[in-house]
Structure 1
Amino acid sequence: MTVDLFIPCFIDQFYPQTAFNVIKVLEKAGVKAIYNPEQTCCGQPSYNSGYWDETKTLAQKFIGDFEGERTIVSPSASCTGFIKNYYGHLFPEGDQQFEAQNQLKARLFELTDFLVNHLQFTEFGARFPHKVCYHDACTALREYGIKKEPRLLLSKVEGLELVEMEDTETCCGFGGTFSAKFHSISTAMTEQKVEKALATGAEYIISTESSCLMNIEAYILKNKLPIKPIHIADILANGW
């Protein structure tokens, strides 16, 4: 099977190794990933800030960058959830891109959803001998709808001990431009999230969202705390 790989901005700019690990994981599952280097942002930041015309321009480019019939896989439920839920607002029925965005949404999947529910491939031979907790990112949980999939994949990792933190479904404080516009509130939310994670005794916080992890990591580094954030793709690619 061959798929197109959509790598979101945060991973492309700040965590490129995660992108390479996504390819490694997909290849282990028997999937060839094709990366179009012309791809750019899906438009979520500008849409959430109210710049809908600018977002439409980005979305039109995105549709063109991923034209065809191949399945599209991305290591971000936030970006995929945005495309699936909001491209229809940008290109409503009657718009010349209406059918194109509908066709694209139907073949776009977040990584853990794709592995668990479409490939039924969950055992990678990964090894990660650490105590970890999992952060349910807001968009992953509420807009894309994944919860059991990442946990199922983590349960197959040798040596990994998953402990659930209190209020795991509570926002980490990032929220895209929210963290910039409401810095004090965002920082308080991040502090609460990290303190709940530390209370479990976990060494790592895992998520499907690099944007959340970047926000959490900034707080951890500033306060020199004994816990690290890591993307689930980096876990699944570890130890083999």
Structure 2
Amino acid sequence: MTTSPVALITGAAAGIGKETALAYARSGCDVVVADIQESALHQLVKDIKLIGVDALAVTTDVSDINAVKELHNKIMERFGRLDYACNNAGIEGENAPTAESSLENYDRVMNINVRGLYACMQAQLAIMSSQGRGSIVNMASVAGLIGFPGLPAYCASKGAVVQLTKTAAVEYAEQGVRVNAVCPGAIKTDMIDRITSKDPETEKQFAALHPMNRMGTAEEVANAVVFLSLPGASFITGQALAVDGGMVAR
């Protein structure tokens, strides 16, 4: 059991998830990190403990409902509480126009990005509503707010995340649970490197999508997640916050 706030991050092994785990730790939270990449998780736990807080790694495939249940059971057994959760685990899927994108790709993307997040959120809402407090931040994308050619399943999945966020926020507002989403623009991570193939010209095109004329950093997104989680954002719920250098403002 702990008296410190406890934060959970799924998809924590790299990129935005990793930076969010470290940001929660720096804010004074004990941290639970979940991902399918076991070795990376254990290294992250070492890095978090160097900050001076406790940490737990749970190897988890969010598309497996039993694994999701086990994850949340382990959190309660170890810490006895769950204050903040960032549902970040997700994949981009294949890059192809809608008519050429496979149904297998659609099913895989939706299974992880939507069904997996939904299962996690159900477990978190049950815990937090019983506590009478808590904050969930779901990782959506500007691709859930506007269309992106070549990523139909990904766009559909992130649009679904935004709507799940809004619905849960309305349902649980009186029970002391806030639910928000963060919608990053193009962020310099492994995911964007896969999309751009690290081609400098393509990267310039992605940077130009933003009025700031650059891609964002994982740390910038992590800062937004932690802001929405902590008590300073106590009157903010049901929002889809674009962290996008002004992209959707155009």
Q: Report the TM-score, using the length of structure 2 for normalisation.
A: 0.37
Please report the TM-score for the alignment, with normalisation by the length of structure 1. 0.38
